[in-house]
Chains A and B, each alone.
Chain A
């Protein structure tokens, strides 16, 4: 990301085109966040609803279990916290101090 950010106008593709597929990963949207999701592993049932609903694919899953947030891309929308079942509520949104 930081490398892309440093590119000068002479190094960018013409007309703002993106010349390679699937490179949105290189664009770190984590900086847009105001609230950061905080996960409580004690409460989590690994239902993975949060993973299904996260619009940015910012939730890691390993061996069928919740495995962390990708904070480079998480925009802090809070959808994961909203989707986590009411009786579980394993995710809380916390104001992020920068």
Chain B
């Protein structure tokens, strides 16, 4: 039977990894991920897992050891945040290009400089093009459940891509919530036995990983990665459906909250959605048709599904917790805009950059977002495409 415990986001994911019981876990501590790996080390010391834990000297080595273990045929995991992810960068690409189904929790934190340990999404948004699946979690419960599902998604033979499962640093990673934990046997049964694809440790079938590849083959090796991302869409939905039988919670590409008859909509990822729900509820009480689209899966980007959910809306605000310097707004904004444009939808859209380096996004800030949307609907004019929420002038 499932049980409910008081857990932080970090602890919830450590529980998930304990129940997955990976063959190898290689990690290096970085705030705010440290408590996750520490909790996992407790499980290891208590004999709850038989994982081979590799303590490395940097994140570059953590990802390298994970890649080596995964190529050898192990179910391998690591976890990181911010600058740690940045240091892994080179090998992050290699993991995806070698088609290694590694699952990596990332505790979203701002990138230096100035040094800042608090939440924003610059770290994972910065590696949105690395070929990893990216699943964003709103709270500890989702972080726990997304981690378990990510194993099945990544390892699916039609996918074979690594997956990042994120949660907001401190806000979720260090905040304690009620989290419903499945039985270890249920999780074990759900993730199943890992059947590696051409592992190195199979002397009967010797293979080479990572040989040199020039103009003659490199391009041909990239297109299957594109296709695998596309395949991941169906797998994400199937795995979500299967998992909801265990948890009772629905898991798709996004959560459409009060969207059906909504006229003004805010799109965002992760914990800010938790702040937005009561704002939407309050607006609804006032008769204002507000809705929330909380994106769970950023890679692969569910463009068609988002366009369908936005059909007929009068104004849409897209909230980005990371700046894409020199770009036309945040990355989520750009993705949503191009999805709408390609579908021939001309809905007024605005972008809000918010929450950088842990800058709070409170109820009143979210109210401001919807007020702006109401003004757009009233005047029919978008005066400012890119806006900065809760920034001092």
Chain A residues packing against B (C-beta within 8 Å)? 5, 7-10, 12-21
In the complex, what residues of B have CB within 8 A of residue A12's CB? 217, 220-221, 224
In the complex, what residues of B have CB within 8 A of residue A9's CB? 219-221, 223-224
In the complex, what residues of B have CB within 8 A of residue A14's CB? 99, 160, 197-198, 224
- Does any Cβ of A come within 8 Å of B206's Cβ? yes
> With the chains together, A64 CA to B228 CA distance in Å?
52
In the complex, what residues of B have CB within 8 A of residue A10's CB? 224
In the complex, what residues of B have CB within 8 A of residue A19's CB? 198, 205, 207
In the complex, the answer to whether B208 meets A17 with C-beta atoms within 8 Å is yes
In the complex, the answer to whether B99 meets A8 with C-beta atoms within 8 Å is no
In the complex, what residues of B have CB within 8 A of residue A15's CB? 97-100, 160, 209, 221
Apart from A16-B211, A19-B205: 12 A-B pairs, beta carbons within 8 A:
A5-B216, A12-B217, A12-B220, A13-B198, A14-B160, A15-B98, A15-B160, A17-B98, A17-B209, A18-B208, A18-B211, A20-B206
In the complex, what residues of A have CB within 8 A of residue B197's CB? 14
Q: List 23 A-B contacts (CB under 8 A).
A: A5-B216, A9-B220, A9-B221, A9-B223, A10-B224, A12-B217, A12-B221, A12-B224, A14-B99, A14-B197, A14-B198, A15-B99, A15-B160, A15-B209, A16-B98, A16-B211, A16-B217, A17-B207, A17-B208, A18-B207, A19-B198, A19-B205, A19-B207
Chain B residues packing against A (C-beta within 8 Å)? 97-100, 160, 197-198, 205-211, 213, 216-217, 219-221, 223-224
Can you name the residue of chain A whose Cβ is closest to the Cβ of B222? A9
In the complex, the answer to whether A16 meets B223 with C-beta atoms within 8 Å is no
Give the shortest distance, in Å, between A2 (CB) and chain B (any CB): 11
Residue of A7, A14, A19, A21 with most partner-chain B CB within 10 A = A14
In the complex, what residues of A have CB within 8 A of residue B223's CB? 9
> Which of B198, B216, B219 is within 8 Å of A17, CB to CB?
B198
Can you name the residue of chain B whose Cβ is closest to the Cβ of A8? B220
In the complex, what residues of B have CB within 8 A of residue A17's CB? 98, 198, 207-209
> With the chains together, A15 CA to B220 CA distance in Å?
10
Residue of A5, A17, A20 with most partner-chain B CB within 10 A = A17
Give the shortest distance, in Å, between B89 (CB) and chain A (any CB): 19
Give the shortest distance, in Å, between B132 (CB) and chain A (any CB): 14
Top 10 closest A-B pairs, CB basis?
A15-B99, A9-B220, A18-B208, A9-B223, A21-B206, A15-B98, A16-B221, A14-B99, A19-B207, A17-B207
> With the chains together, A21 CA to B208 CA distance in Å?
8
> With the chains together, A74 CA to B207 CA distance in Å?
25
In the complex, what residues of A have CB within 8 A of residue B98's CB? 15-17
In the complex, what residues of B have CB within 8 A of residue A8's CB? 220
In the complex, the answer to whether A7 meets B97 with C-beta atoms within 8 Å is no
> With the chains together, A19 CA to B202 CA distance in Å?
11
> With the chains together, A1 CA to B99 CA distance in Å?
25
In the complex, what residues of B have CB within 8 A of residue A20's CB? 206
In the complex, the answer to whether A16 meets B160 with C-beta atoms within 8 Å is no
In the complex, what residues of A have CB within 8 A of residue B217's CB? 12, 16
In the complex, the answer to whether B220 meets A7 with C-beta atoms within 8 Å is yes
Can you name the residue of chain A whose Cβ is closest to the Cβ of B213? A16
> With the chains together, A9 CA to B221 CA distance in Å?
6
> With the chains together, A14 CA to B207 CA distance in Å?
12
In the complex, what residues of A have CB within 8 A of residue B213's CB? 16
In the complex, what residues of A have CB within 8 A of residue B220's CB? 7-9, 12
Can you name the residue of chain B whose Cβ is closest to the Cβ of A16? B221
Can you name the residue of chain A whose Cβ is closest to the Cβ of B157? A14
Can you name the residue of chain B whose Cβ is closest to the Cβ of A23? B208
> With the chains together, A5 CA to B216 CA distance in Å?
7
In the complex, what residues of B have CB within 8 A of residue A7's CB? 220
In the complex, what residues of A have CB within 8 A of residue B216's CB? 5
